[in-house]
Structure formats: structure tokens, C-alpha cells
Structure 1
Amino acid sequence: MRRAINYVPDRHSGLILAILPFVFLMGIYLVGSDARLSANPDDKLMPGLKAFFDAINHLAFTENRRTGEYVFWTDTLISLQRIFIGLSISTVLAIVIGLPIGLLPYLNRLFGPFMAAFSLIPPLAVLPILFIIFGLGELSKIVLIIFGVAPFLIRDMAMATLAIPKEQIVKAQTLSASSWQILIHVVFPQVLPRLFDSLRLMLGATWLFLIAAEAIASEGGLGYRIFLVRRYLAMDVILPYVAWITLLAFLMDYFLMLGSRAMCRWHHIR
């Protein structure tokens, strides 16, 4: 008797199955929107598709008369710049700090408990402190992302390094490898796939930190725009922006997966 776990969809079936939940969700929304608009044509809670298209056309393809910018794309570039700078710095810190903590016993005893405690501090709780110290400009928003992401990545890299079999470290030493060579040639290649996975898992939190910072003090960005128009109940702007943020996060996750497969081919061989 064949069990359910042995039924594997082919490529086309898998694609259809992946799309079905989105189609189902969109269908529910359209039915609900049509019902609300039939009862009240001025309803703003669930606007129809035409309202979405009109709002996006105005923001993305109509030049702002005051600034001369295309608001949608300007917001996107501002937010992506903050995200990339924050994630890049966090990744470098994870490699430079996390790997030595996991490899060197003295550093592990000295900084391991500290990083474990530091990674548990809620980043949004210290957001007012960051604004006081770094001001309301770009720096505070990037620091918030680093504060929220880097400690987690550092701790995860240290734990991944500690999980490497000791036999490999011993064998490298018998071949006269220095601590630096072990770090570069033994440890780093093995934790690199874990780093990609950790970055993918932190994308949701990263966008959360960014939007929170943009909502409180900013003059541009996707989060800023969402909280700016909420006072007008402009769901025709808010919902497309939320969908766009989700798509951007999905694309970032996809490219990280491609990067992992390109740089860690041995890890993805099944």
C-alpha cells in the first residue's frame, strides 16, 4: 500500500499547488470586496481592483508635482538601501565575530553568554534609545536593523561552528594548520550554508524593524508611506504596498537561495 508520504508532485503539479492558496485568498478578497461595495460604494476597507490600479498608477507612474519623483519607486529604493546596508553589516559582523567565538574556547567563554543575552533584547524596545543616540536620520534606522539582526546571526554562527565535529579540527591541526587556516579553510566553508539559511529566516524580522523605524521617524520609505496614508483609511495604497513588501522579501529570499546554491553546491547535492 502506497502511503501519502510517497506521492511526490511533478514540476507542473507542484507549481499549480503553490499558486492555489494565493488564488484562493484573492478569490475570498474579491468576493468580500464585491459584497461590501454593493452595500456601500464608498467603502474604503476593501476596495476593488480598479481602486488598486488607480492608486498604483498614480504613485508609480505619475510624477509628483511637488518633488518631481515617482513616489512608489522612491519609497522602494529608500527602503531597499536601508535593508541592504543593515544586512550587509550584520553579515560581516556575524562572520568576523561569530566564527572566532565558536572556534576559540577563551572567546567562547568570554563573549558567548554576553551574545546570548544581547540577542534576546527586543530591538523595538530600544528604538527610542537609538533615536536619542543616533538621531532621527538614516543612521538610527540602519542601526536598528543591525541591532536586531547581527546578534542573532553572531550567535547562530558561533553555534554552527561549535557543531563542527572535533575530529575535523584535530585532523587540520595534525596537518600543521594554524587557527587562522582552520577558520578560513575548515570552519567558514561549513557554516556558509547556515549563514544563508539564517539570513533567509531573518528577512521577516528585518522588514519589521525597518517598517517600525520608518513609521516613527522618516521622510520616505515603504513603511513611512503606509503609516502616512493610514489616517485617510487609504487601503487602496496600504494593501498594494504590503503586497509589494511581501514580493520584495520573497525575491530577496529567492536570491539568497540561489546564492547558497551557487556558493555551496556541495551542500545542496542530494
Structure 2
Amino acid sequence: MRLINRRPGPPAVAALAALPFVAVALIYASASAARRAENPQDRLLPAPAQILDTAGRLLFEPDRRTGDILFWIDTAVSLQRLGLGVGIAALTGLVIGLAIGLLPLARAGLASFVEVLSLIPPLAVLPILFLLLGLGETAKVALIAIGITPFLIRDMAGRTAEIPPEQIVKAQTLGASSLAIALRVALPQVMPRLIQSVRLALGPAWLFLIAAEAIASEAGLGYRIFLVRRFLAMDVILVYVAWITLLAFLIDRLLRYASRRFFPWAETA
């Protein structure tokens, strides 16, 4: 049997999925042990046991000064910023994308403009946002929204344009207005694509969030990582990085579940 036709069973799938994680863990443990053998005070690659101890301290021990568990405060603050930014971007991308995909006037007036906006590096406008909006929450949320909105608009517009013209013509024949066509014909078909697009945009959204928090913030996951880096606290940094990765994975799984739950006919991944 050709290799391209061989499909693993469930046990093999689980083993193959776990293999890269086990390999990375073994490589890290070996590198950490080698560095600590040369220098017991090495802080660049802390031992796995030290990382676990740090994780327990961060998750459960309150701060001596404030009495709060800073880990969970950072998580809540970052998730709030991320949720607002992605939510605003998704709504904007959906509305403008539908307009560009359905209305020739909107396509003529906005398509080129959105294309140019998508070429601007979002991090390059971060100083401008801080100058215009201050160092508060608005600038951080705006960076996330600005960073991913052009991509969502273009993806929504492209998916809307793929709707068979026959459906638009039939809806008009039955007396549907432009708004009714957008809500009753186009919207149900682009919503699954919107969820998939948001899943793809989560990576850049996290990047913009951490960058904004690192530059100007008093709480947040990115803020904490860049705060402790000056002390070479790699055990804390690795815990936060692992937690961000886990959060991103869980949010992605949640969106995938929502797509399968509400749009099973469109879910292929």
C-alpha cells in the first residue's frame, strides 16, 4: 500500500499527535540539564520541576503587596482586551464585507481602500494610536481591531461575492430588498466563513495585544512577560507563554465547536 493511502487508526492518531510534544519536552529537559551541569545557577533554561513550582506559585499564591493573584488579573485583563478588539473587528469586517460583496457602489468605493489599508503594518501605527488615544485601553483595543479588520473585510467580501448570482436574482424576483437579501440570503452563508476567518486572525490578534501591553500597560499577560524579562525570570516567562498558548488553543477549539454546532453543513475542518 502506498504511503499516501495509509490512514492511522484512533490510537495511532493520538500517539502521532503526542509525539512532537513529547519530543520538544525531552529536548528541552536535556538542554536544561546540560546547561545546569555546566552552571548550576543558570537561569536561561530552568528545570521542568522549577517551572512547575513557579506555575503553582503564580496560579495560587496572592501578591504580598495587593493580596490579589496577579496571574488571574493579567489573564482577565488581556482576555477583555482581546475580546473587545476581535469582536469589533468581526462586526466591522462582516458589515463592510457584505456591503462590498453585494453592492457595486460599495465595491467601487471601498475595495481599493481596504486593500491599501491591509498593506499597512499595524504595529507601525501603534505610536500614532498612543498619541491620539492615550495609553489607556482604547489604544490597545484599537490596535487589535485595526490589525485584523482589513483581513476580515476582504475575506468576507470574497465569500459574499462567491454566492451564486441565481440566488440574488431569485430573491429579487420574490420582491426582496437589498437589506433583506443581505440578511436572509448572504448572511447565513458567510457566517461560517466569518468564524473560520476569526480563527485565522487570532494569532495576529494575540501578537498585537502583547505588543501593546508590553509598551504601555499596568496589567496583562504581555505586560507581565516584559516586566520580568529584565530579571531573567525565564520560569515565569515560560509559564505565561504556555498559558497564552493554551488560551489561544481553547479559544480556537471553542470557535470550531460553535461552527460545527450552528453550521454543521459548512464545517469541513
TM-score band, normalised by shorter chain: over 0.9
Separation in 2, partners of 1:134, 1:13: 52
Which residue type is aligned with residue 155 of structure 2? Answer: D
Report if the CA contact (8 A) 2:260-2:267 is conserved. Answer: yes
| Residue 37 (structure 2) aligns with | 38
Aligned identity (percent) is: 56
SS at match of 2:135: coil
Deviations along 1:108-140, one digit per CA (max 9) or x if unpaired, are: 001111111112211000000000011001111
- State the number of aligned residues: 269
Amino acid at match of 2:106: L
Rounded Cα–Cα distance in structure 2 between residues aligned with 1:14 and 1:152: 33
Match of 1:67 in 2: 66
Q: Distance in 1 between matches of 2:78 and 2:209?
A: 8
Q: Deviations over 1:153-190 (max 9, x none)?
A: 11211111112221221222222222112111211111
Specify every segment of 5 or more residues in structure 1 that has no aligned partner in the other structure, as ranges. Answer: none
For 2:60 and 2:246, locate their aligned partners in 1 and report how far apart those are by CA, in whole Å.
Answer: 19
- Determine the structure 1 residue equivalent to 2:9: 10
In the other structure, the counterpart of 2:117 is 118
Is the Cα–Cα contact under 8 Å of residues 192 and 267 in structure 2 kept in the other structure? no
Q: Give the 4+ runs in structure 1 shifted more than 6 A.
A: none
Query: Cα deviation per residue 1:50-105 (whole Å; 9 max; x = unaligned)?
Result: 22122222222111111111011111111111001111111111122211111000
3-state DSSP of counterpart to 2:42: coil
Matches within 5 A, 1:128-207: 128-207=127-206
Q: Indicate the SS of the match to 2:265.
A: helix
What does 1:245-256 align with in structure 2 at a 5 Å threshold? 245-256=244-255
Give the distance between the partners of 1:212 and 1:268, measured in 2 at CA: 33
Query: Residue type matched to 1:30 in 2?
Result: A
- SS of the equivalent of 1:267 reads coil
TM-score (norm 2): 0.97
- Tell me whether 1:99 sits opposite 2:98 in the alignment: yes
Question: What is the Cα-based RMSD across aligned positions, in Å?
Answer: 1.3
Identify the residue that residue 211 of structure 1 maps to in structure 2. Answer: 210
Runs of at least 5 residues in structure 2 that lack an aligned partner in the other structure: none
Q: Which residue of 2 aligns with 1:87?
A: 86
TM-score by length of 1: 0.96
Give the aligned partner of residue 222 of structure 1: 221
- Aligned-partner Cα distance in 1 for 2:5–2:182: 41
One-letter amino acid of the counterpart of residue 43, structure 1: D
